Structure 1
Amino acid sequence: MNTIAERIYDFLKGFPPFNMLSREQLFAISKAVEVIYVEKDQTVFSINQSIESNFYVVKDGAIGLYSEENTLVDKCDEGDIFGLRALIRTGTYILDAKAIEESVLYSISSEILNEFITTNSDASKFLMQSFVSNVKPSDRNKTRTELELDGSLNLPELQSADYSKNPITCSLNSTIKEAASIMTEAHVGSIVIVENKKPVGIITDKDLRTKIATGKVDIQQTVEAIMSSPVKTFPENISVSEAQIAMLKNRITHLCITKDGTTNSELTGILSEHDIIVLRENNASSLVKEIKRSTAVDQLKNIRERTEDLLQRYLKQDIPIDFVARMVSAINNAITQKVIELSIDKMNKKPPVNFAWLAIGSQGREEQLLLTDQDNALVYEDVSKEKNETVKPYFLELSKHINKALSIVGFELCPAHMMGSNPKWCNSVSEWQAQFKSWITTPDQDNLMLCTIFFDYDYVYGDTKLVEKLSEHIFETIEHNSIFLSYLGRNALQNPPPLSFFRQFLVEDNGEHKDQFDIKARAMMPLVDAARLLILSHNIKSVNNTVNRYEKLIELEPENKDTYLFCIEAFKDLLRFRTEQGLANSDSGRFINLVDLSKSDRLKLKRSFKAVKAIQELIKMRFKLNQLM
């Protein structure tokens, strides 16, 4: 008997994807594993080191993954896999792996990966989801995905992007005319400005049209006068999905590729939006490009309808729902930004002062996949009382144009009037600060309800500094009114796990949705409310997405990791389930006819309710709310 292999087998069988293999497969792997001991601060592999033909599983201890700036990117502990993404992509490592404490590692060769893991259907499906969502394999639910790996990453979104490896460049001393001539001769739409072979700026055709052709800048000036700087840089093995998200998030069409992914290393390529579109037609990037070119709201409506097709395609491919939500959210934001630009043009007058448009509620959390009603607000610069008499009416009129246009696109007007066109939700910075302070210091039921909506806001358009002022004020006010979190905790317990004493689903008793199950109020919102409460208690700003909040909580409270992972998986299941129901019934997916559910669907929903119970028990203990039982 091989006692060492038996011990390795007993350990690996507790973690995915190894627990998806047959006993024979896993034991064969266990016999081939190399056991490695590393001392504290010892390096396992380094940035720019050639990738080895093996990956690692942490048996004991902890391994830190660090960026070039020595920033801790991830911490891998018991059962976590690292080095696998690099192994499949090949090339060199882009992170340092170093022991945070004395550790024991299991080293597994690429031959073992190809022979036993990628050939196993369940294990390969699991790895696909792990790669696309950029989550550690030990944190994933083994039953979630049905994607195929077949030994390689075959979805375009997961492949390394095919970028131009001969970027056209010029120096900082070059004139704009010289740069334009170089672009023309090379038949390219962009040129990267380099200094010591490192990218410091970029000029595109758009810059030449908007800054030179209009006469705003003299063509004899140096390129520094019109270049965009700093540039957005990424490593050579950037995936298509990462490139799409980067372009959408930063509203840019070109990414600079460097040796280590930072501006401090040599430029090796340029990746354009066109490169992405060639790879996959009608993807999120191409839709956003169309949005930017749109000149009418009807065109935006057509694009948003096509987004539903993109959404359905992603769901059929079983792409992780958090990735899908980020893509759809980016499209929604791009549509809103274009709507605001068109609405400002309608006003025939530029905004009198700086302002910002906020998405609130589910869109503010990047969780609005379906065409539900609008939730938004507007904040503008503080002005004198006299000036406000003309400034506020301007922004109210602008908001009406924006809300009307969004309703034409497909986002219905909010029945509760939680929109920027409502004078209550169109305020100066000081007025918003006073509003938030009133809600926090007087936490009655109505004010708590407003907090749950307006605390989940996200910047969409305008002056980011105004939004930062609001966030700082909210956290300062909460810090001086700590009892507020207890009230918010009570509010988070208003919807207990939605099962009756007899383990039946709690459904609506009357009204239009009688006998239907409210998946939003009874299952999803308890998880949303809990994540918001807990992240506020840690004074963490700018983390609004529910999944991201729980991931941050895992980092802050590793002792509660299992509970938070349970909540993440439950929320993703519920979000996917609601989205599928909404697409099938052409509605918001909020109310579900239980008679239409399969037994499997019922069991999946009931499992999610256990996560609600677990997180609510944690809240009761944390904020001493057991008396509510």
Structure 2
Amino acid sequence: MNTIAEHIADFLKKYPPFDNLSFQELSEIATSIRVINLEKHKLLFHINDILHDSFYVVASGVINLTVIADAEETLINKCVEGDVFGLRPFFAKNNYMMTAKAREESIIYAIPIATFRTFVTHNSNVLEYLLESFASNSSNPNEIENLHGKLVSDNIYYSDQKSEMQYFQSLSYNTTPLKITTSSIVQEVAQLMTNTITNSAIVCQNDLPIGIVTHTDMSTKIATGRYSISTTIDKIMTSPVVTIMENVSLAEAQLLMLKYNVTHLCVTNDGTDKSTVKGIISEHDLIVAQASNPGVLIKEIKRSKSAEDLKSIRKRLTELIQKSLHKNIPLSHINNIASEINLAIIKRSVELAILDLGSPPVRFVWLSIGSQGRKEQLLSTDQDSILIFEDVTPDKYRDVKDYFIKLAKRTTVSLENVGYELCPNGHIASNMLWCKSLTDWTKQYSNWINTPGENSNEISSIFFDLEIAFGEHKLEEAIQNVIFNNVKNNVLFFDFLGNDALRKNSPLTFFKNFNVEELGVNKDKFDIKTRALMPLIDAARLFSLSYSVKGVNNTYLRFKQLSIVDPRNSEIYLNCAEAFLTLSKFRTLEGLKNDSSGQFINLHELSKADKEHLKNAFAPMRELEELIKTKFKLTQFS
């Protein structure tokens, strides 16, 4: 046997399942192994790639395994020396369900399945080990006692198909949609739709989607005689079309259809209408795939008549979150579903208040701020909100404001009855300070940004995390413009916000122990919100405002976006994104266990491996702190 094969056999012998094989068997396997050198960020296989004829072992370096969630790449696992992955070809015929990418320069051993299969069939220990791994949902590298040589499942969505978790799996859709142009004639399109037995056609310009025509358009606009059959399609199309990235789950697709009140979603290359069309998802696709899923909750919310109805739905959402976590569904994915349901509950509460009070005198917008504004509210934490109404003449101002204060009070009381506690700092729309006209809000934001700390000891940073729950989008856009126009090159503002971000206490003491509470009811517990999550939340907001990252409020997604806009520091941002998910999961599990906000972690209840896992999540914070100091030229606390 040659020395390279001998070296490989020696290496494999140290790790399961190879430690169940004799050295002679390993030597035979080693002679057929292919050694792959992967450069940093190089792909080994991609989601939906055709299966390879080998599975893989990490000889050195780190391989990241990711899935698509929230139309984002989400890290599921890190494979280090001795870890086995890419087993799908052993047990399944369909394509890869994950992407494997080198996090750093790595050496991988590719073991041909044809060669290895013989040893599997003759060794029950090896077979059981592989089967157990493939069928497991383990996406936490620390769950297997944090040992090297773990076998990583690439079957993250494996399930018995009985629970609603199947609705987090990718949805099948029509990959050959009917494409037409704006100048197409209605009669010809109707004929094409009949011939191809389809109920929709995507209107494209340079292969980019600009609109959609459905069977409903034909029956309501053509069959009724409103338009002639000889008219061009641009007269009856719906524009813009709602676009989405592929690998969307049934749950997400249904939520989007309900949110935008559409029956079709256009699948594009990057999920926007600025890239080529890949397919179409219809309501029929959902009906075929559907049984019971989070979309049902949205429908029930829309039909709710009282806070009591909404409360029972919120309780079911908590159960859904708990099941999702136990199934190891990616946290970013759970967040997306939960936030849509939370926003729907807020929206319905506003609607019920309007039904009680009568129509509003002018247009307005209800904005969630804080954790709801960042779409990070998995647990029933407190409610934070502001209300902006259109400008009115001075003589009408008082009456208009009175109406909206009444509306806000009814809504916040209703939400309190649902289970969202009132903000202890009074950051709610029913507070006179946080319910006012667009002009007043413009002045408020301008003052906060241009004279930070002058009228108060702090800027309430949560006011910069906004998510529309109900009302006029243009009012929300106007406030976003005020924010981004004022923060541009504003040294004083970033100095204030930067120092505020740095002022948070460290999660660990000088001796690397947890910085726990010293007094009160939470004595000896770890405040994961203040000491670990808030520094990441504050930093993500700070950098996003600095780089004018618009339309992204979620901390995890902010870090992902920052890794693109500031590629030199992408590694730091991506590590922070990963750390944020880890810490959020710890907090959520604590909250679900104790029916609390999960802010204070009882360290005595954590295993040694969990404590290490928690400490490891603090690692990127030091680099992030240095990045803040460098970027904003901060040398000391102000």
TM-score, with normalisation over the residues of structure 2?
A: 0.71
Do 1:578 and 1:589's aligned partners in 2 also have CA atoms closer than 8 Å? yes
Query: Unmatched 5+ residue regions in structure 1?
Result: 13-18, 39-43, 61-72, 93-102, 131-136
Q: Percent identity?
A: 37
Pick one of 294, 297, 309 that aligns with 2:319: 309
Give the Å deviation of 1:466: 1.6
Single out whichever of 371-380 and 246-255 deviates more from structure 2: 246-255
Q: Equivalent residue for 1:514? A: 523
- The structure-2 alpha-carbon separation of the partners of 1:251 and 1:331, relative to structure 1 and needing over 3 Å to count, comes to farther
Do 2:383 and 2:422's aligned partners in 1 also have CA atoms closer than 8 Å? yes
- The structure-2 alpha-carbon separation of the partners of 1:403 and 1:451, relative to structure 1 and needing over 3 Å to count, comes to same
5 Å-filtered alignment, 1:185-334, equals: 191-192=199-200, 200-202=211-213, 219-222=224-227, 228-233=238-243, 238-240=248-250, 243-244=253-254, 246-247=256-257, 250-256=260-266, 270-272=281-283, 275-276=285-286, 279=289, 281-334=291-344
User: After superposition, what is the alpha-carbon deviation per residue over 1:299-357, rounded to whole angstroms, capped at 9, x for unaligned?
Assistant: 2221111101100110110111111111100111111122222222222124423x211
**Structure 1: distance between partners of 2:562 and 2:136:** 24
**Structure 1: distance between partners of 2:243 and 2:116:** 32
Classify the secondary structure of the residue corresponding to 1:626.
coil
Q: Equivalent residue for 1:99? A: none
- The structure-2 alpha-carbon separation of the partners of 1:296 and 1:435, relative to structure 1 and needing over 3 Å to count, comes to same
**Structure 2: distance between partners of 1:598 and 1:242:** 34
Query: Unmatched 5+ residue regions in structure 2?
Result: 62-72, 81-85, 97-104, 121-125, 160-164, 228-232
Q: Equivalent residue for 2:123? A: none
Do 2:556 and 2:577's aligned partners in 1 also have CA atoms closer than 8 Å? yes
Q: Equivalent residue for 2:486? A: 477
Q: Equivalent residue for 1:432? A: 441
- The structure-2 alpha-carbon separation of the partners of 1:122 and 1:560, relative to structure 1 and needing over 3 Å to count, comes to farther
**Structure 1: distance between partners of 2:295 and 2:497:** 39
User: After superposition, what is the alpha-carbon deviation per residue over 1:263-305, rounded to whole angstroms, capped at 9, x for unaligned?
Assistant: 8988976432x75466454421121122223233322221111
5 Å-filtered alignment, 1:33-432, equals: 33=34, 149=154, 156-157=166-167, 159-163=169-173, 191-192=199-200, 200-202=211-213, 219-222=224-227, 228-233=238-243, 238-240=248-250, 243-244=253-254, 246-247=256-257, 250-256=260-266, 270-272=281-283, 275-276=285-286, 279=289, 281-353=291-363, 355-432=364-441
Give the paired residue count: 571
Give the Å deviation of 1:441: 2.3
Give the Å deviation of 1:227: 6.3
Q: Equivalent residue for 1:545? A: 554
Classify the secondary structure of the residue corresponding to 2:400.
helix
Do 1:125 and 1:147's aligned partners in 2 also have CA atoms closer than 8 Å? no
In structure 1, what residue type is equivalent to 2:591? G
User: After superposition, what is the alpha-carbon deviation per residue over 1:381-400, rounded to whole angstroms, capped at 9, x for unaligned?
Assistant: 22332232232222222211
Q: Equivalent residue for 1:96? A: none
- The structure-2 alpha-carbon separation of the partners of 1:261 and 1:357, relative to structure 1 and needing over 3 Å to count, comes to closer
Do 2:389 and 2:437's aligned partners in 1 also have CA atoms closer than 8 Å? yes
**Structure 1: distance between partners of 2:468 and 2:529:** 24
Say yes or no: does 1:592 pair with 2:601.
Answer: yes
Classify the secondary structure of the residue corresponding to 1:322.
helix
Classify the secondary structure of the residue corresponding to 1:402.
helix
Do 2:251 and 2:337's aligned partners in 1 also have CA atoms closer than 8 Å? no
**Structure 2: distance between partners of 1:5 and 1:242:** 48
**Structure 1: distance between partners of 2:112 and 2:616:** 36
User: After superposition, what is the alpha-carbon deviation per residue over 1:202-233, rounded to whole angstroms, capped at 9, x for unaligned?
Assistant: 5588x99xx97xxx999432498886433335
- The structure-2 alpha-carbon separation of the partners of 1:2 and 1:524, relative to structure 1 and needing over 3 Å to count, comes to farther
Give the Å deviation of 1:416: 1.6
**Structure 2: distance between partners of 1:552 and 1:113:** 43
Give the Å deviation of 1:257: 6.2
Q: Equivalent residue for 1:500? A: 509
- The structure-2 alpha-carbon separation of the partners of 1:35 and 1:379, relative to structure 1 and needing over 3 Å to count, comes to same
Give the Å deviation of 1:588: 0.9
**Structure 1: distance between partners of 2:152 and 2:441:** 46
Q: Equivalent residue for 1:69? A: none
Give the Å deviation of 1:537: 1.9
- The structure-2 alpha-carbon separation of the partners of 1:105 and 1:407, relative to structure 1 and needing over 3 Å to count, comes to same
Single out whichever of 108-117 and 224-233 deviates more from structure 2: 108-117
Single out whichever of 322-331 and 285-294 deviates more from structure 2: 285-294
Do 2:137 and 2:328's aligned partners in 1 also have CA atoms closer than 8 Å? no
- The structure-2 alpha-carbon separation of the partners of 1:523 and 1:122, relative to structure 1 and needing over 3 Å to count, comes to farther
Give the Å deviation of 1:109: 10
Classify the secondary structure of the residue corresponding to 1:305.
helix
**Structure 1: distance between partners of 2:254 and 2:111:** 32
In structure 2, what residue type is equivalent to 1:232? V
Do 2:587 and 2:599's aligned partners in 1 also have CA atoms closer than 8 Å? yes
User: After superposition, what is the alpha-carbon deviation per residue over 1:421-448, rounded to whole angstroms, capped at 9, x for unaligned?
Assistant: 1121112222112111211222229857
In structure 2, what residue type is equivalent to 1:423? M
In structure 2, what residue type is equivalent to 1:397? K
Q: Equivalent residue for 1:97? A: none
Give the Å deviation of 1:367: 0.6
**Structure 1: distance between partners of 2:116 and 2:166:** 21
Classify the secondary structure of the residue corresponding to 1:427.
strand
- The structure-2 alpha-carbon separation of the partners of 1:337 and 1:123, relative to structure 1 and needing over 3 Å to count, comes to same
**Structure 2: distance between partners of 1:294 and 1:85:** 46
In structure 2, what residue type is equivalent to 1:221? R
User: After superposition, what is the alpha-carbon deviation per residue over 1:18-72, rounded to whole angstroms, capped at 9, x for unaligned?
Assistant: x99969999969965597999xxxxx999x9x96868999x99xxxxxxxxxxxx
Give the Å deviation of 1:168: 11
- The structure-2 alpha-carbon separation of the partners of 1:5 and 1:588, relative to structure 1 and needing over 3 Å to count, comes to same
In structure 2, what residue type is equivalent to 1:402? T
**Structure 2: distance between partners of 1:449 and 1:113:** 66
In structure 1, what residue type is equivalent to 2:400? V
Say yes or no: does 1:466 pair with 2:475.
Answer: yes
**Structure 2: distance between partners of 1:395 and 1:545:** 28
**Structure 2: distance between partners of 1:225 and 1:476:** 37
**Structure 1: distance between partners of 2:350 and 2:485:** 31
Classify the secondary structure of the residue corresponding to 1:377.
strand
**Structure 1: distance between partners of 2:542 and 2:466:** 15
- Over the aligned positions, Cα root-mean-square deviation in angstroms equals 5.5
Say yes or no: does 1:578 pair with 2:596.
Answer: no
Give the Å deviation of 1:507: 2.6
**Structure 1: distance between partners of 2:156 and 2:560:** 29
TM-score, with normalisation over the residues of structure 1?
A: 0.72
- The structure-2 alpha-carbon separation of the partners of 1:458 and 1:239, relative to structure 1 and needing over 3 Å to count, comes to closer
Give the Å deviation of 1:127: 10
**Structure 2: distance between partners of 1:626 and 1:500:** 21
